[in-house]
Structure 1
Amino acid sequence: MARSMALTAAVLLAGSALLLTLSSAFVAAPQKVSAPAGLPTAALSAAALATPQMAHADDGVWIPALSAVGAGFAIGLAAIGPSGVGQGIASGRCIDGISRQPEVADDLRGVLLLSLAFMESLTIYGLVIALVLLFANPLIK
């Protein structure tokens, strides 16, 4: 029990240190912005709409950095979801069906291959999105 708690604490400490290190690598230093005092509601809402534009770094590091993170999420989720979990479940159910009724093995195999092809196409779409975000980014001017 004590070993498990010590390992958990070590992993949490290492994870938080890694998160702090990575977050400081991509985010520019914050600029001091004075809070508006005594402005009407329309001026405050206009300031709230303009705030995301002020948050961008002067050297333009936000869009490429967040595009790389988005590309990682796109390919990661596309590989885990349909390819990892979906194809594993479909193949397992097909083998289970063939073992119960061997006479329908040809029909199940055809349906399995077709469904695996559709699942793999979802993974390829995730790869295409990741490549677009990395190399042909529409967000960069």
Structure 2
Amino acid sequence: MKLIVIQFFIISLLLTSSFFKISSADSLCDGKCKVRCSKNDREPDKCFKLCNICCHKCNNCVPSGTYGNKDECPCYRDMKNSKGGSKCP
């Protein structure tokens, strides 16, 4: 009986810690992308959505500032859309 309780506790602890890691990564990308897309007047929602996709694929790397500086994150810089253009804002 004690073994089952201990196993349940360990599994619960592991699951809980994985949720905290996921939520902290989401908030990290959200914050960086809010800054990145803050001056985008044309399509701020689209900018934010694409930035988050790129951020997650590039291990939370988003270039600083609102435009340019893409050399700071080669993964972010090199991601292309279906037409061959830059996917990440």
TM-score normalised over the length of structure 2: 0.46
Compare the two structures and name the one with the higher helix fraction: 1
- Higher CA-based Rg: 1
Relative contact order, higher structure (CA 8 A, sep 6+): 1
